[in-house]
């Protein structure tokens, strides 16, 4: 069962995973990531964590913060978990290089709102 009190915890999980991705995205090239299963699935796992934490946010919280594309993030998680055999490295790479850095300030802002 999802609980409102846990929304802040989920946001912190999202931010933690974002930080891991950002801290590591420039340590590897696309080719290195695609050819090293441990590195590849390490990146996949952190994107999955973001998606799972989004999935666990309360509907009420997500509905009151439409500035984040929650459903897009959740769909990405479903693809990574259930379609693991057809993950395209370039799509994962683009998500990590572009979407994740754009998501970070939005999540930081939402976390800050809990402490106002």
Residues identified as active-site: 77, 82
State how far the Cα of 103 lies from the Cα of 109, in Å rounded to an integer: 10
Closest CA relative to residue 96, chosen from 55, 39, 46, 49: 46
Question: What does the alpha-carbon distance between residue 4 and residue 24 come to, in Å, rounded to a whole number?
Answer: 31
Instruction: Tell me the DSSP string of 25-89.
Output: TTSS-HHHHHH-HHHHHHHHHHHHHHHHHHHHS-HHHHHT-TTS-HHHHHHHHHHHHHSGGG--H
């Amino acid at each position: 069962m999802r609980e409102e009190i846990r929304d802040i915890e989920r946001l912190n999980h999202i931010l933690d995973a974002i930080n891991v991705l950002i801290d590591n995205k420039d340590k590897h090239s696309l080719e290195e990531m695609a050819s090293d299963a441990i590195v590849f699935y390490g990146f996949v796992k952190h994107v999955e964590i973001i998606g799972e934490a989004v999935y666990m946010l309360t509907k009420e919280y997500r509905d009151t913060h439409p500035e984040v594309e929650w459903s897009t993030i959740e769909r990405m998680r479903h693809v990574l978990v259930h379609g693991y055999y057809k993950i395209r490295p370039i799509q994962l790479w683009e998500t990590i290089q572009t979407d994740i850095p754009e998501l970070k300030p939005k999540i930081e802002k939402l976390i800050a709102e809990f402490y106002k």
